[in-house]
Amino acid sequence: MKWEALSALAEICSAVAVVVTLIYLAIQIRQNSRLIEASLAESHVSAANEITRILAAEPEAAHIFWEGLESKREALSLDHRRRFDPMMFLFVMSAYQAFRQHDQDALARADWILQFAGFQGWWEEYRSTYSEDFIAYIERKRGIP
């Protein structure tokens, strides 16, 4: 009888240990997920800050950026277009990364830029470099069915 009681007690202890381990793992996974989300958010902010830094530090870049947005991209000189296009790539790639990482509304705070004539010209030129689902997402944000 004594051995049976000890065996039952050992089984209870091992079951409790398994439950405690599972709870610990669930907590660790949740904390890890939060850290990953925070890291992704930080990378998106860093990308936006890079564009802002360029525009703030280089008046000519800011001039080209706004000239390109407010007019048609085709109206820019070749030299200005060569500077405008990489700035737009920085902007759109930041949104594309967020979109790829399943941010359902990657452009929620920056979709205003999609309505500018300069973006529209740039998008027509370079949209084929992105995935079909991202193209559809941008088109929906622009109001194109």
Q: What is the pLDDT of residue 110?
A: 66
Residues 53 and 16: their CA atoms lie apart, in Å, by: 55
**pLDDT (average), residues 46-51:** 76
pLDDT at residue number 1: 59
Gap between the Cα atoms of 81 and 143, Å rounded: 25
Going by pLDDT thresholds of 50, 70 and 90, the confidence category of residue 90 is confident
Residue of higher predicted confidence among 125 and 46: 125
Contacts of 130 (CB under 8 A, 6+ apart): 92, 96, 138
Mean pLDDT computed over 28-57: 77
At residue 145, the pLDDT reads 64
- Give the range among 48-62, 104-118, 121-135 with minimum mean pLDDT: 104-118
16: confidence class by pLDDT, cuts 50, 70, 90: confident
- What is the domain partition of the chain in residue ranges? 40-142
The pLDDT score that the predictor gives to residue 53 is 86
